[in-house]
Structure 1
Amino acid sequence: MKKKFIPLALASLGVAASAAAQTQPASKPSDPVVPQVTISGGRQDDMVERRNSTAGKQIYGREELDRNGDNNIGDVLKRLPGVTLGGRPGRGGEVRMRGLGSGYTQVLVNGERPPAGFSMESLSPDQVERIEIMRGPVAEHSARAIAGTINIVLRDGYQVRDIQVKASDRLEQGRHSPELSVTIPGKSGALNYTLSASLNVNRQHDSSKTHNTETDADGGLVKEQFLHSESAGTNKMLHLVPRLSYKFENGDTLNFQTFLMHQQGRSNATTSLDQPLPLLPAGRPGGPEYNLAQQRNDNDVTFLRGFGNWVHRLQGASKLDVKFGFGLGKRDSDSVRNQYDYGGALLDRFTDTDHTKDKSLNTGGKYTTPLGAGHLLAAGWDLEASNREQLRVSLDKDGKPQFADSGENLQADTRRVALFAQDEWDITPQWSASLGARWEGIRTTSDRSDGSIANTSKVFSPLLHAVWKIPGYEKDQVRASLTKSYKSPNVQDLIAAPALSRLNSATSPDRTGNPNLKPELATGLDLAYEHYLGRNGIVSISGFVRKIDDLIRRDLVQRQTELGLRWVSAPSNVGKARTSGIELEAKFSLAELMEDAPQVDFRSNYSRFWSNVDGIPGPDNRLDQQARQTANLGMDYRLKDIPLTLGAGYNWTPPIRTRVSEKQTVETSRKRVLDMYALWRFDSRTQLRISANNLLADDATGYNLVYANGLAAQAASLNPTYTQWSVRLETKF
């Protein structure tokens, strides 16, 4: 019954909201229209922009970003329709649309791909103006978006009028994590500027337990290990996001924005290993590699990304928008790991250093012009060049390299060229369509000690989006999209030096790359029905299908390496796959639908996904870690007599079980995340927010099973999660 409750509840919410809207007098829906324009600051309201977009686009502005007082953008995204996060609650993870991650979901910052190593946990919501979610690819952005695109637009300044200051502190397991953010807008003649800055210190502790076993063909236990790990660390992070906008006398506009992030991290970890079977001394063949391991990690990361564009008005309504940008990144990490036997004697010491530099330049442009009645033609280009230099050194206590390229300066260059064109066509007052195409070519080259590696991919993506506004029902419309999209292999999978496992086994293998990977190609169909409620409400149902060719999967093999016979995980193209799904959304305010109703806002969404991979036997031959279902429920209640707002959100994802190959099955536990907050407004400029995140604090468990070489290797893990309490003071000057 529990599995049926959430979708039925969401459906009933949508039906109730729609029925309530239809029972109101005809004059009621028009009441909130007037303030819709006055608060937009020259830009369409988020819901209006969503409704008028020909290609399906969901927009979430400052209201959604500020609602729960989240600490990072990942926490905001997990509540949005069809979006899930990998990893444990409170620790972030890979962003997934439609349950698909690992490159299927395209994440952009200001319309550009962020630098390598960028994560949602490194971006504060205070630095963001809005989030745009596009279910299907559009011509002006890369078509590397099989699951969809999430575009994070940094603080723009058009709605900022006052100096804003926010000071907060988070408490987890008695550890404090303070944060301070400031946004300063200004204007001098034709120059507008905004400076956003934030500084935070994150302190956290984690622990995990793992039980490894190996059984023979008769079910006899031949190996057993118990691992217990504890880690604690501190991360200090600084963000600077200045933005300049200058308007020339001829109407041209020049915008430039930078995003600077600097992070320092220090952590210590201790792992104990107990091996009852086989009962041999640590460090001996067949015995455990160690009994106790102590590791210290230091890392320094700096990203600098610049975005700019020049908008030139031409004759008539034509316009040329030329963009440019650059990226610089530097990551330095050092770790020392000491391993001891049962008597406390040093068995081995591993020293790992990694110095990586990333550089990129990009430019592009879009020319738009009316093309007859009801047509708007857009055409443009994108050019990008990036370079990575990586120096990795991994040595044991005797100074012996741990892999062939240790100490070699590895370089990789990527060149990307794209051309696109699209026609926005208002066919009739009810029908509009967008017909476009994008050609994109990517070439990656690398020089290594064992020779040069080159990989080239070229993809042509025709794109068709259409909207039908149902006659006689001005608040109802139907969307359809037919698109081609793709997923390109990432640089690490193409040319990466091996990532070594310190306890190598079938369930904990080394990882390496494959220079012969081809991009995955997908043909997609999207359908959606939308019914709009009041100013910011909607009830919608959508469905999608994707057929994927040249699917990339990691295979598990044993190889002879410099360190002996090792288990290695390597990617390869394995064949075809198919995924489909249904997504429901209901969002509305009771006060807009019923007279004398309390000031309560409801938000709910539910998604159901299916997938299967050809060539891998079932059951559970799904796309990598795709959840079967996910749901969100949320409510905000603004009290009338006192300036207090109460809110809560619940995120649910059931266990995920995936058969990765004929040999391997991986399972992760369910995820239930309950967040609550209370917001007290002292006046129009000052407010205090108290929040509790991950109140349920469920343990995260995992299970990895491998059948190979006549043995069954199993790894069962348990990772506790923790509740975070936070208080935030927000004020304006």
Structure 2
Amino acid sequence: MAQELSTEQTELNEVREVVVYATRYRDRTADIAPVLSYDLEYFQKFEPNTVGDMLKRVPGVAFVGSDIAEYDGAQLRGLGGGYTQVLINGKRVPGAGDDRSFWVDRIPAEMVERVEILRSNSANRSGDAVAGAINIILRDSYSFDGTYVRAGLNHWYDGEANPTFGAVTSGDFAGGRILAGVNIQDRYRAKEKRSDRFSDASQEELVSWEDQTEVKDGRDYSANLSYIVDVGDAARLTLDGFFVKTDRDVTEVSFEEELDDGQTIDARVPGLNPIDQKNWGFGGEFEFDMMGGATEISVDHARFQDDSSTTEETHSYISEVSNWDRVWSIDGADWDGSEAEAESVDASDAETGFKLAHKRPLGSDVRMEFGVDYRQKKRDITYTTLEWEAEEEGDPVMYEPDSIITSVIKEKRLDPYMQFSGDAGKLSWELGLRYETTDSDIRYVEDGAVEGAASTDYDKLLPSVHFKWDVSESDRISLSLARSVKRPNFNELIPALLDGEYGDNDYIGNPRLEMETANGVDLGYERRLGRQGVVGVNLFYRRIENLIELTNTGIAGQDALASIGEDELDDEDFAGDFMDDYMDEHPGASKREAQAAADAALRAAVADAGGEFEPDSWLFTSENVGTGKVYGVELDVSTPLSVLGLPNTGVFLNYSWVKSEVTDFLGERRFNDQAKSVYNIGFIHDLPVLDVSFGATYRKQGDAFSRVLAEEVTIRYGDELDLFVEKRFGNNFSVRLSANNLLDASKDEIFHKFDNMDDQIDRDYDEFELESEEAGPYYQIVARWAF
């Protein structure tokens, strides 16, 4: 082990490499499991601001649901963020998403040493990575030496300009090496959105339209620290930490117009969403020789905090006209009303982990690793809602409390594992077994009263096996088989009854959900092209069992109960009064049980009155049902064109095609929000005589479809084109100009909206909407100085 440590010490990057880059390509790793590795230099020519900007050029990474020209929720294999595990320095980190996802645009690119795409599971990693894992490796003091400063300016299509600044320094300190980095960047994005709403998909009758301007204006602050010291001749202590703060205001102004029975209703809808979010974490590892092997002890803690709010006002005016000109105006209109809603979020999500692992050789060709991971998590979120309604035009907004909802989820995990690996000539193999256990406690409180609480536990055995066959010095074949899991989304576990969550249908969480389990296969071929180039193709398949989908409980929804009570019994409050009395008489009952009892009582009362009970809305929940399949092919190429006599020109190409099958309440579909394909193509050309480089990338993401109860959405993103040109001055200074979104790509969404499941089956529309947003091209100039 001491020999390995001293070898790493000699591989420090010189500071001038941060300023004067050679054209870099995808690294070919020595891992037995399938791993793609991309150094910062692979991305840096295009001057990415965040990890999201980096990942949009990596094979198989899609961003469905992100606003145009933003890249936050990364999706491998096109699956939702909850199927993709995001790690920082190999450790799990909490994030904002209810699906346990982490928004990768929170991490600035300048903090990153490299990005790894882990296509299949190994026993020594957490198994909740059905689609794969993205490992973000931050700079450390043994990967960089020196000091540099980065300063730049972003210019947006609407004329706004804002700065960015970063600095990194590394050197000897207290017998070891230390690295410190800071980054401050103004984050700005303005976009225009247009919505046209029709009575149905024929688009023959336009019923309303909306123009919206949205501006996201804020600043991100970040810092990272790494300290590494050798302890004696055969031990090493590593300490690292990071901090990211997002301070942003999202301002929206919408102008809406609706035609209703010969009257035109105009509305001005201003909205404000101040965002204050923090991600931070720290960790320590101690590696030392012990009993003929190497032992690792590591501790880490990471936290996500969110203190944000949203306000939206609606000021309506009405006029007697028979048609409209689709230009918003209130001239000659009468005030119809003003109302407002507000919601604040106070969230804290913390994870603490401990790992003990031991590695040792078993003979000359076999290695063994065994250990245990312990992790505990606490997610505590409080939503406070307020509302206001004006009595007269011009009344000031005075919010009144509406509700306070708190949910707390605690999880404890203890995961032992064992892994063997070895070499048999040109064939390398890895065999592992991981046993994952989870204990969960869930508590839901509304307006100070406990509305639901439950405890559950999971356990799953996760085997994995990997083979790597070096057919020749240039050719490699890999095969991986592994089982992985996906834990339920947080909102699927919380037993909160949400009235009208899906059209007229209600929803309640299910704390008894089991983990989804996936059996996966990856088969890959990779070939070295010359000294630097690589071409690879990978086939993958995942069979997902215990799939979580919406199901109908068979209990009538609250809207239907009220309607039936009014129509058949002339008592709209029958079900509501019954539920309140039931909860009082049964203190331990859940709201689901109360609604089921109200359903049964109303059925009986309607039957006694000689009526007919025909609900048109229902109470839905999440259940483990059936199986799903995901499969596809991934191709990536990165190589200089030396064979064509162009050694200073590098080309990059990656393409991923995915397909899936899921059965939901209406039949077969793809996984929700799965882009059918994503590809990137680009080049970089160096002119060494002039110390100049330039290049371009083109990206296209396929359509994605989502179907939930009462709504179906198709999302389509436009083509993206980015360019850069760089001029170097000596070995220590460079200036780079980059231009992004030059094709002014749009995000287009098609919404099919219904009131309930029966209407969705019959295609009886509540509304059909076309929505499109654009953010325009933007430019960045950045200077780097090393000293």
> Which bracket does the TM-score occupy, shorter chain normalised?
0.7 to 0.9
Distance in structure 2 (CA, Å) of the matches to 1:649 and 1:139: 37
Distance in structure 1 (CA, Å) of the matches to 2:172 and 2:639: 37
Distance in structure 2 (CA, Å) of the matches to 1:329 and 1:654: 32
Q: How does 1:21-100 map to 2 (within 5 A)?
A: 40-41=11-12, 50-86=28-64, 87-100=66-79
When Rg is computed on C-alpha atoms for both structures, the one with the higher figure is 2
Deviation at 1:499, TM superposition (A): 8.3
In the alignment, what sits opposite 1:728?
782
Task: Provide, for residues 359-378 of structure 1, a one-character-per-residue CA deviation record: whole Å limited to 9, x for no partner.
Answer: 33211122100012211101
Assess, with a 3 A threshold, how the Cα gap between structure 1 residues 244 and 347 changes in structure 2: closer, same or farther: same
Matched, 1:183 2:206: no
In the alignment, what sits opposite 1:260?
243
Deviation at 1:632, TM superposition (A): 1.2
Matched, 1:108 2:87: yes
Deviation at 1:719, TM superposition (A): 0.9
Distance in structure 2 (CA, Å) of the matches to 1:48 and 1:367: 31
In the alignment, what sits opposite 1:417?
414
Task: Provide, for residues 638-696 of structure 1, a one-character-per-residue CA deviation record: whole Å limited to 9, x for no partner.
Answer: 013210011111111232345x2686532111431111101111111111110011111
Distance in structure 2 (CA, Å) of the matches to 1:104 and 1:447: 25
Assess, with a 3 A threshold, how the Cα gap between structure 1 residues 701 and 496 changes in structure 2: closer, same or farther: farther
In the alignment, what sits opposite 2:636?
585
Report the AA paired with residue 70 of structure 1: P
Report the AA paired with residue 518 of structure 1: E
Give 1:269's match in structure 2, choosing from 240, 252, 256.
Answer: 252
Assess, with a 3 A threshold, how the Cα gap between structure 1 residues 424 and 190 changes in structure 2: closer, same or farther: same
Task: Provide, for residues 684-727 of structure 1, a one-character-per-residue CA deviation record: whole Å limited to 9, x for no partner.
Answer: 11111100111111221111224544422322211113211000
- Match of 2:407, SS state, is strand
In the alignment, what sits opposite 2:272?
296
Matched, 1:194 2:179: yes
Deviation at 1:279, TM superposition (A): 5.1
Checking the alignment, whether the CA contact within 8 Å between 1:360 and 1:384 is kept in structure 2 is yes
In the alignment, what sits opposite 1:32?
none
Distance in structure 1 (CA, Å) of the matches to 2:259 and 2:461: 57
Checking the alignment, whether the CA contact within 8 Å between 1:655 and 1:671 is kept in structure 2 is no
In the alignment, what sits opposite 2:152?
168
In the alignment, what sits opposite 1:690?
737
In the alignment, what sits opposite 2:493?
494
- Match of 1:103, SS state, is helix
Matched, 1:381 2:372: yes
- Please say which of residues 352-361 and 129-138 is displaced more in the overlay: 352-361
Checking the alignment, whether the CA contact within 8 Å between 2:652 and 2:682 is kept in structure 1 is yes
Matched, 1:613 2:662: yes
In the alignment, what sits opposite 2:109?
125
Q: Which runs of 5+ in 1 are unaligned?
A: 1-35, 283-289
Identity of aligned residues (%): 23
Checking the alignment, whether the CA contact within 8 Å between 1:461 and 1:483 is kept in structure 2 is yes
Distance in structure 2 (CA, Å) of the matches to 1:673 and 1:162: 36
Deviation at 1:233, TM superposition (A): 3.3
Distance in structure 1 (CA, Å) of the matches to 2:560 and 2:342: 17
Distance in structure 2 (CA, Å) of the matches to 1:529 and 1:190: 44
Distance in structure 2 (CA, Å) of the matches to 1:647 and 1:435: 43
In the alignment, what sits opposite 1:341?
316
- Please say which of residues 204-213 and 47-56 is displaced more in the overlay: 47-56
Report the AA paired with residue 77 of structure 2: R
In the alignment, what sits opposite 2:428?
432
Q: Which runs of 5+ in 2 are unaligned?
A: 1-6, 15-21, 97-101, 318-333, 390-398, 445-449, 564-616
Assess, with a 3 A threshold, how the Cα gap between structure 1 residues 467 and 714 changes in structure 2: closer, same or farther: same
Matched, 1:330 2:326: no
In the alignment, what sits opposite 2:594?
none
Distance in structure 2 (CA, Å) of the matches to 1:363 and 1:37: 25
Checking the alignment, whether the CA contact within 8 Å between 1:242 and 1:258 is kept in structure 2 is yes
Assess, with a 3 A threshold, how the Cα gap between structure 1 residues 576 and 48 changes in structure 2: closer, same or farther: closer
Deviation at 1:381, TM superposition (A): 1.3
Checking the alignment, whether the CA contact within 8 Å between 1:89 and 1:671 is kept in structure 2 is no
Distance in structure 2 (CA, Å) of the matches to 1:127 and 1:48: 19
- Match of 1:52, SS state, is coil
- Match of 1:450, SS state, is strand
Q: Taking structure 1 as the reference length, what is the TM-score of the superposition?
A: 0.85
In the alignment, what sits opposite 2:687?
639
Checking the alignment, whether the CA contact within 8 Å between 1:89 and 1:694 is kept in structure 2 is no
Checking the alignment, whether the CA contact within 8 Å between 1:468 and 1:479 is kept in structure 2 is yes
Matched, 1:357 2:348: yes
Checking the alignment, whether the CA contact within 8 Å between 1:176 and 1:202 is kept in structure 2 is no
Assess, with a 3 A threshold, how the Cα gap between structure 1 residues 597 and 367 changes in structure 2: closer, same or farther: same
Deviation at 1:560, TM superposition (A): 2.2
Task: Provide, for residues 607-627 of structure 1, a one-character-per-residue CA deviation record: whole Å limited to 9, x for no partner.
Answer: 2212111356677x1112222
Deviation at 1:191, TM superposition (A): 2.2
Report the AA paired with residue 655 of structure 2: Y
Distance in structure 2 (CA, Å) of the matches to 1:410 and 1:584: 43
Task: Provide, for residues 217-252 of structure 1, a one-character-per-residue CA deviation record: whole Å limited to 9, x for no partner.
Answer: xx8989823222222231111101011112212432
In the alignment, what sits opposite 1:676?
723
Distance in structure 2 (CA, Å) of the matches to 1:610 and 1:561: 37
Distance in structure 2 (CA, Å) of the matches to 1:669 and 1:229: 19
Distance in structure 1 (CA, Å) of the matches to 2:70 and 2:562: 35
Task: Provide, for residues 5-38 of structure 1, a one-character-per-residue CA deviation record: whole Å limited to 9, x for no partner.
Answer: xxxxxxxxxxxxxxxxxxxxxxxxxxxxxxx999
Matched, 1:305 2:289: no
Q: How does 1:439-454 map to 2 (within 5 A)?
A: 439-448=435-444, 449-454=450-455
In the alignment, what sits opposite 1:599?
648
Task: Provide, for residues 371-398 of structure 1, a one-character-per-residue CA deviation record: whole Å limited to 9, x for no partner.
Answer: 1221110111111112232222112127
Checking the alignment, whether the CA contact within 8 Å between 2:195 and 2:209 is kept in structure 1 is yes
Report the AA paired with residue 560 of structure 1: Q
Deviation at 1:569, TM superposition (A): 8.0
In the alignment, what sits opposite 1:4?
none
Deviation at 1:454, TM superposition (A): 2.7
Deviation at 1:505, TM superposition (A): 7.4
Distance in structure 1 (CA, Å) of the matches to 2:618 and 2:183: 43
Matched, 1:371 2:367: no
Checking the alignment, whether the CA contact within 8 Å between 1:260 and 1:302 is kept in structure 2 is yes
Assess, with a 3 A threshold, how the Cα gap between structure 1 residues 362 and 310 changes in structure 2: closer, same or farther: same
Checking the alignment, whether the CA contact within 8 Å between 2:246 and 2:276 is kept in structure 1 is yes
How many pairs does the alignment contain? 674
Assess, with a 3 A threshold, how the Cα gap between structure 1 residues 220 and 609 changes in structure 2: closer, same or farther: closer
Assess, with a 3 A threshold, how the Cα gap between structure 1 residues 38 and 183 changes in structure 2: closer, same or farther: closer
Deviation at 1:437, TM superposition (A): 1.1
Checking the alignment, whether the CA contact within 8 Å between 2:452 and 2:496 is kept in structure 1 is no
Report the AA paired with residue 341 of structure 2: F
In the alignment, what sits opposite 1:243?
226
Q: Taking structure 2 as the reference length, what is the TM-score of the superposition?
A: 0.80
- Match of 2:415, SS state, is strand
Checking the alignment, whether the CA contact within 8 Å between 2:85 and 2:128 is kept in structure 1 is yes
Deviation at 1:314, TM superposition (A): 1.8
- Match of 1:257, SS state, is strand
- Match of 2:41, SS state, is helix
In the alignment, what sits opposite 2:593?
none
Distance in structure 2 (CA, Å) of the matches to 1:509 and 1:388: 27
Deviation at 1:143, TM superposition (A): 1.2
Checking the alignment, whether the CA contact within 8 Å between 2:93 and 2:351 is kept in structure 1 is no
In the alignment, what sits opposite 2:752?
705
- Please say which of residues 225-234 and 155-164 is displaced more in the overlay: 225-234
Distance in structure 2 (CA, Å) of the matches to 1:308 and 1:49: 27
Checking the alignment, whether the CA contact within 8 Å between 2:244 and 2:278 is kept in structure 1 is yes
Assess, with a 3 A threshold, how the Cα gap between structure 1 residues 223 and 648 changes in structure 2: closer, same or farther: closer
- Match of 1:407, SS state, is strand
Deviation at 1:74, TM superposition (A): 0.9
Deviation at 1:346, TM superposition (A): 4.6
Distance in structure 2 (CA, Å) of the matches to 1:633 and 1:556: 45
- Match of 1:99, SS state, is coil
